[in-house]
Amino acid sequence: MEPRAASDARGDDALVEAAGRGDRDAFRTLVERWGPRVGAFLQRTLASRRDAEDLTQETFLRVYRAAPRYRAEGHFPAWLFRIAGNLARQELRRRRLVSLLLGEPAERPEEVFDSMPAPQSFHPESPLRADAIRRAVAAAMSRLPVRQRLAVLLRYYEEMPTTEIARALGTSPHAAESLLVRGTRALRTLLRDQPLDF
């Protein structure tokens, strides 16, 4: 699957700049354009619809606050997903701390990707098989280290090229590629023994 090009990044840059000058319609357009994708990304990362909704709102609140200082360079998606990814990592750290303090599991496997479709590259023969694939991928994704999980989600669900993944994760393209390779290899290993035949 070819990564999605930054199709309207310049248009997004103009919207952020306008929002930074107080244009609420421009900000509303950004939220309408990107809100569903950010929400889906966060739900896949956190395996919780409620947490994803909360952090989607927080992501756009931070975008709004940072808009006056935004530097338009055509990399809006990477900037946006970096904000969302940082919030997701903070939430996962908070969960681990709560888990240690209360002795409860940090992940909520029963919520993992309940309503999320499989990536577009999956073409299962039946809805039952599609559901099994979605649940197997979700369970495997929840076991990846968080930076590998973010890299894999950005590539295969957001279709970002490696350079934009690197920007989103605040790392080098080489390190982003390494995260993708290790994450993809780990997913294959985790999925290899899944019983998906129906």
Give 137 or 29, the one with higher predicted confidence.
29
Distances (CA, A) of 130 to 5, 100, 115: 27, 35, 12
String of b and e for 28-42 (b: at least 16 CB within 10 Å)? ebbbeebeebbbbbb
String of b and e for 84-118 (b: at least 16 CB within 10 Å)? bbbbbbebbeebeeeeeeeeeeebeeebbbeebeb
Q: pLDDT per residue over 55-88, tens digit each?
A: 999 999 999 999 999 988 889 999 999 999 999 9
User: For residue 157, which of 11, 50, 48, 38 has the smallest C-alpha distance?
Assistant: 38
Q: Which domains does the chain have, with CATH numbers?
A: 9-191 (1.10.1740.10)
Q: pLDDT per residue over 83-106, tens digit each?
A: 999 999 999 888 877 766 665 555
pLDDT band, very low/low/confident/very high, at 166 (cuts 50, 70, 90): very high
Residue 137 phi/psi, 5-degree rounding, is -65, -45
The model's pTM is 0.72
